[in-house]
Amino acid sequence: MMKNNIEERPTISRSDVKLRLFIDTNVLIDYVEEFDEKKSKTFIELFRNTNFENIELVTSDYVLWEFYDHFKKELYVKKLVEEFQYGYINANRECIRKNYRKASLEDMETFGNTIRGYVEDFAENPVSIQRLIGQKLDGFSEMVEKILQCSKFSYPDTIVFVSALFTNSHIIITLDETFSSENHLQELKNSQESLRLPEDIEFKKPEDFSTEELVNKNYKMWFLKHNREKQIGKVIKVWPKKNTIAIECLDNYFINQGDYLCLVKFRKGAEPIIIIFKVKEGNLRDYNTKKAISRGEKVTVKLPSDVKCEPYMQGSMIFLYSEM
């Protein structure tokens, strides 16, 4: 039976297409210190130098504060070693026990300015820092408290995890094996239904996104997991000279004149093609009769003049697009 209103058709929006990678503190630390054994530097540099249109890197002010705390200690230890002839082990002990005893306020300000320079090196390009503190975040503190009550996450890991959720991130990029344990995450999802954790939140390592091929592979995996069930049709034929495609709908879905459609094509080793366009008046026809129609399940669509029909569009997935 044909579905007869838009509410009965699944839609995708820009947020369904945009993959957000949340960057944990340890990845940023390795990047700044130029440690690339686990590919943190390679990963960050790749996103700095390559425009992945449908992927963005984000972190939070909570991560930023942890970053400052780490490097403040590192710079103090360096001062103890270089200016007071401490051995490295004793310098670390001094830092832990004596709370910056041998540092002046001018030293602390110098440390802060140095660290701010580190932050400026990655902020915005390529990592966007989402400022959560001061925003009205309903449920943030309650979620932190519940996770501390029912999970194996430490307090810092809990803050990172919850801030990742509240930045609407999909994947947390981390080097912390304990934090990213799938058992911990699954136990957390199972223990508290009231938390309403996103089903698709997961952990990955920098090495999983360290080459363009791996980035595109992981994006495809995420997109299909997140959106496959929302597909309403597929492109079965293309006519480049006529700037027209043929679409066959799935599961008795249909296409209306005036719909906004999202065409998605994955190509091996390459960035996906994602095109959003409107089915304009007079551009929708029945596939078999060639007659103009206002709704159909197997149709031809003449593309708008600003969208060029290409042979690669054959086999593309079709989604109903919403601005929501």
Instruction: Spell out the per-residue pLDDT of the chain, length 324, in tens.
Output: 344 445 589 999 999 999 999 999 999 999 999 999 999 999 999 999 999 999 999 999 999 999 999 999 999 999 999 999 999 999 999 998 888 999 999 999 999 999 999 999 999 999 999 999 888 888 899 999 988 988 888 999 999 999 999 999 999 999 998 888 878 777 777 766 667 777 778 999 999 999 999 999 999 999 999 999 999 999 999 999 999 999 999 999 999 999 999 999 998 878 999 999 999 999 999 999 999 999 999 999 999 999 999 999 999 999 999 976
Domain that holds residue 135: 14-225
The verdict on residue 5 lying in a domain is no
Q: Are residues 208 and 240 in the same domain?
A: no
The verdict on residue 6 lying in a domain is no
Q: Are residues 132 and 188 in the same domain?
A: yes
Residue 237's pLDDT is what?
A: 98
* Exposed/middle/buried for residue 148 (C-beta within 10 Å: 0-12, 13-18, 19+): middle
Residue 132: CB atoms within 10 A of its CB come to 16
For residue 164, what is the domain's CATH number? 3.40.50.1010
Q: Are residues 29 and 162 in the same domain?
A: yes
The verdict on residue 8 lying in a domain is no
Question: Do residues 303 and 257 make contact, with C-beta atoms less than 8 angstroms apart?
Answer: no
For residue 287, what is the domain's CATH number? 2.40.30.10
Q: Are residues 187 and 67 in the same domain?
A: yes
Prior bond of 156 cis (ω within 30°): no
The verdict on residue 208 lying in a domain is yes
Residue 1's pLDDT is what?
A: 38
Look at residues 193, 225, 257 and tell me which one is the last residue of a structural domain: 225
Q: Are residues 51 and 190 in the same domain?
A: yes
Look at residues 182, 209, 225 and tell me which one is the last residue of a structural domain: 225
Q: Are residues 277 and 192 in the same domain?
A: no
Look at residues 210, 225, 240 and tell me which one is the last residue of a structural domain: 225
The verdict on residue 78 lying in a domain is yes
The verdict on residue 1 lying in a domain is no
Q: Are residues 261 and 156 in the same domain?
A: no
The verdict on residue 3 lying in a domain is no
Closest listed residue to residue 277, CA positions, set 239, 298, 247: 247
Q: Are residues 54 and 140 in the same domain?
A: yes
Q: Are residues 219 and 268 in the same domain?
A: no
The verdict on residue 176 lying in a domain is yes
Domains: count for the chain? 2
Going edge to edge, which strands form the sheet with 171-173? Answer: 127-130, 55-60, 19-23, 171-173, 202-204
- The SS3 assignment for 262 reads strand
Residue 127's pLDDT is what?
A: 98
- The SS3 assignment for 57 reads strand
Q: Are residues 123 and 251 in the same domain?
A: no
Give Dmax over CA atoms of the chain in angstroms: 88
What span, in angstroms and rounded, lies between the C-alpha atoms of 28 and 25?
5
Q: Are residues 167 and 38 in the same domain?
A: yes
Q: Are residues 185 and 267 in the same domain?
A: no
